[in-house]
Amino acid sequence: MARIHFSRRTVLLGLLVLLAAAFVLVTLGSSRWLRMGRVDLTADKLYTLTPGTTHIVGGLRAPLRLTLYFSSHAARDLPQLRSYEQRVSEMLQEMVARAHGRLRLQIVDPVPYSDDEASAEGYGLTPINGGTNGERVFFGLVGSTLPANADNDGDGDEHVPGKTLAIPLFDPSRETFLEYDIAKLLFELDQPSKPPIGLISSLPVEGNPVIGEEPWTVMRQLGQQFDVKTLDPAKLTRIDSHIKALLLIHPKHLPPDAQYAVDQYVLGGGHLVIFVDPVAEMDNTPFVDSNGVTDDHNSNLSRLFAAWGVQYDPQKVVLDRSRGLRIELADSSSMSHPAMLALGQQELNHDDVITASLQRINVSSAGYFDLMPGTLSRMFPLMQSTTDAEVVSSQRVRESINNPAALLDNYRPDNNRYVIAARLRGQFGSAFPERAGQPGHVAAAAGNAEVILVADTDLLSDRLWVSYTQSLLGQPQLSALANNGDLLTNIADNLSGSSALLSIRGRVSSQRPFTRVQALRAAADQKYLSKMQELQRELAVTRTRLSELQPSKAGRGDTVSSEQRAEIEQFLQRQLAINKALRDVQHQFNAEIDALGLRLKFINIVLVPSLVILVGLLYGWRRSRRSRRRA
């Protein structure tokens, strides 16, 4: 039987063909076979889900369907938005891969005048303008529950959605909270009913039906998303663990048993929000009652605050003249009230999910928080004053109600930013160690407990953020002047979620700016801007002089002398010269950036591939040389 001999070259070529075929097969099958084995090599682990998200996705009880609406055709000229859509879809696909078949994803391009576009509008998605040919761009997510017996691959009647929620728009400026927003949507879809939250308040936040007093707007908004349960502090000895969050608004004279119940609720893992105030302007109790007892309309929880390492003085108010709200005075004049503040984006923490999307919060006669020396608790500000603030006594603020300008007398800012609202975290101990013998007593938090502190209650009142007008039909219409209502909803929304949801913090953005290009552009700005401005001023003067010398400016029948014609020609030539000089400056403005771009292209397209080829050729030459020597 004849033996077949293959040359070494033929064997190598065959191996290369086999390797290429294997590479193609592995590449095509990796998305399916190696889905759970992907490796995130990004510096900030952008594509790695946090443990909190993994817990929520992996523990879904009911099958959910997600529909990502993205106007791909209309956004083809918006590269930044298309890049962000890829980021969103990849994160959604990662969640689907870890949901054990309980999560399904569909991506839809709602082209204009289609059923998909009508569906996107019906779900409340917010379109943005500026797409190709002026088309609207939809970029949002709709989630819905499906029957528990829904078949993973079926498309029958069982896919009729039940509960439906949506993210109206994926805003690239909110990318740091992308994972939190999606995980929150999944968590809320997986809940069978509205989350219950508790309320204890000495202010009339729920109105008075007997006299026809409506609840405050913040409470009406809260009731749309939560099951608000009012708790009686006089009878309170224990707070049920099923209460997802507890709102404590202006806790005046809270009985010891109620304070102990709050203490144990927090140490047991409950989520607490406290609104205290040095001057609660909506407190309608008399300053002096029939028994001669004085009420300063302030509130405090000194025993609990001390146990948590918090400093708070109910007799101190923060003034900030640079953020004062404009008010009308009795004599029809107006002024900026230094105790009524409009806190803007610079005073709000945009690294926290509660305040990240808020633009403005109005407060009035607010206090401030600080940490006690030596405490192990950590405070994360949500709202702060500017450095143009000072602290005065609450008595002085009350005395200046009719003359707020007096608060500016001898105004001395102390260059401090006072914390008006904050997150507080720590391994708190009980504020009632003497009750250690009671059944079920918790002496300390098992892990890091968390409390939200706000040093103002007036911000919840309608007068600081709501304006009412009448429609054509005579119905009252609400107009929000600030985001005070959103603040309370965001707080309750954040704290009423699971501990897994609370563990998801803001991520870094996937956008990587060209810092070197930005530095070059800044240097070019500094170098050429003055020259450009000088030329532009000269051009403006030249154009003005030309306009004055044009024949159209002369009256009917007037002629232009040869001297005027020569001067016009001179100015026209000067205008052309200035325009050329401006183009040269603009060219110089971009020259260094263009040079950097060329260098990068050369390195990526020519240099690096050439080096790889050169190394390969050297390696092959050495191999062949060794082979010849052995032969």
CATH 3.40.30.10 fits 46-150+159-189, yes or no: yes
What is d(CA 535, CA 521) in angstroms, rounded to the nearest whole number? Answer: 20
Residue 16: HSE in the Cβ half-sphere, 13 Å Cα cutoff: 6
Task: For residue range 299-315, list pLDDT tens digits in order.
Answer: 999 999 999 999 999 99
Q: Is the pLDDT of residue 32 over 60?
A: no
If you count them, how many residues does the chain have? Answer: 631
Task: Measure the CA–CA gap between 368 and 621, rounded to whole angstroms.
Answer: 75
Q: What is the pLDDT of residue 513?
A: 54
pLDDT of 201 reads: 96
pLDDT beyond 50 at 157: no
Q: State the pLDDT confidence band at 556, using cuts at 50, 70 and 90.
A: very low
* Structural domain spans, the chain: 46-150+159-189, 196-283+295-314+366-386+416-502, 515-552+563-630
d(CA 207, CA 217) in angstroms, rounded, equals 10
More confident residue, 616 or 575: 616
* Angle between helix 515-549 and 562-601 (nearest 10): 170
Confidence (pLDDT) at 555 = 47
Is the pLDDT assigned to residue 598 strictly greater than 90? no
Distance between CA 129 and CA 75 in Å, rounded? 10
Query: What sign does the dihedral 369-370-375-378 (CA atoms) show?
Result: positive
Q: Has residue 273 got a pLDDT over 70?
A: yes
Beta bridge partners of 479: 467
65 sits in which H/E element: strand 64-70
Query: Around Cβ 614, how many Cβ atoms within 10 Å?
Result: 10
In angstroms, the CA 89 to CA 552 distance is 63
Rg (CA), the chain: 34
Token code pair at residue 322: 């640079």
Does the pTM of the predicted model rise above 0.85? Answer: no
CA nearest neighbour of 510 among 75, 68, 42: 42
CA distance 211 to 283: 17
Give alpha helix (H) positions in 145-277. Answer: 178-189, 217-225, 256-267
Residue 580's pLDDT is 73
Structure tokens at 478: 């609400």
The neighbour count for residue 286, using CB atoms within 10 Å, is 11
Region of poorest pLDDT, from 159-163, 418-422, 520-524: 520-524
